[in-house]
């Protein structure tokens, strides 16, 4: 759902840009393109959002083998040719949840580096990077809160276990004490009964059956 929202947002931005150019009667290429030269203009035009969206969609919906292949391709491309496109593709792959190689902490670092470079990203790319940076930061906050809650729960459980063990030990010791007292009382009662029987027998009294 988030990927779909991102896609709609980005397409809306691209559509507004194109629509403005159509209504003004001008070419839809960026106004600054003539100043960049033919090579730079071509580079800007080929750096579309499609490669990012396709990568994220494959990591979300693909099976384990496809996820591994897509992430490996993104990682190798960024290592062999660390262009802005390849670096952003890898950063978004790291930020995408639902596959084994997802890494919110590393995605946060890489996205922040890309956003810190003033002119490294196109406007659409900057929006995409910003959205996913905010998402991974929220995930990290939630993960930290969950870990803290787990630690508190573990500590409480450990304390409850210790208290239960202590109460059990106290109960067992109390039971042993009561058994010892009962055995001692029975011994005393048997001794008294034996003495009484001996006295009656000595005095000729009838014995107790």
Q: For residue range 108-138, what is the model confidence (pLDDT) as tens digits?
A: 999 999 999 877 889 999 999 999 999 999 9
Q: Over 60: is that where the pLDDT of 12 sits? A: no
Tokens of 102: 């997802």
Tokens of 1: 């759902």
Q: What is the mean pLDDT of residues 171-176?
A: 83
Q: What is the mean pLDDT of residues 92-108?
A: 94
- ∠164-170-176 over CA atoms, to 5°? 135
Average pLDDT, the chain: 76
Q: Which of 51-55, 58-62, 178-182 has the lowest mean pLDDT?
A: 178-182
Tally of CB atoms within 10 A around 44: 15
3-state secondary structure of 23: helix
Using 50, 70 and 90 to split pLDDT, how confident is the model at 176?
Answer: confident
């Amino acid at each position: 759902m988030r990927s779909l929202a991102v896609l709609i947002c980005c397409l809306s931005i691209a559509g507004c840009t194109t629509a403005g150019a159509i209504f003004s009667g001008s070419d839809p290429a960026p106004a600054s393109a003539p100043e960049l030269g033919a090579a730079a203009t071509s580079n800007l035009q080929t750096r579309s959002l499609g490669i990012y969206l396709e990568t994220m969609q494959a990591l979300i919906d693909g099976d384990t083998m496809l996820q591994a292949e897509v992430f490996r391709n993104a990682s190798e491309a960024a290592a062999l040719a660390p262009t802005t496109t390849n670096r952003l593709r890898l950063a978004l792959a790291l930020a995408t949840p639902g596959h084994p190689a997802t890494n919110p902490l590393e995605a946060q670092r890489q996205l922040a580096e890309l956003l810190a470079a003033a002119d490294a990203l196109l406007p659409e790319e900057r929006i995409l990077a910003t959205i996913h940076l905010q998402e991974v930061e929220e995930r990290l906050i939630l993960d930290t809160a969950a870990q803290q809650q787990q630690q508190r729960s573990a500590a409480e459980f450990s304390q409850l276990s210790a208290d239960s063990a202590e109460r059990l030990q106290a109960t067992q010791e109390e039971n042993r004490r009561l058994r010892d007292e009962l055995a001692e009382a029975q011994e005393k009662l048997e001794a008294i009964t034996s003495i009484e029987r001996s006295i009656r027998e000595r005095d000729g009294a009838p014995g107790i059956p």
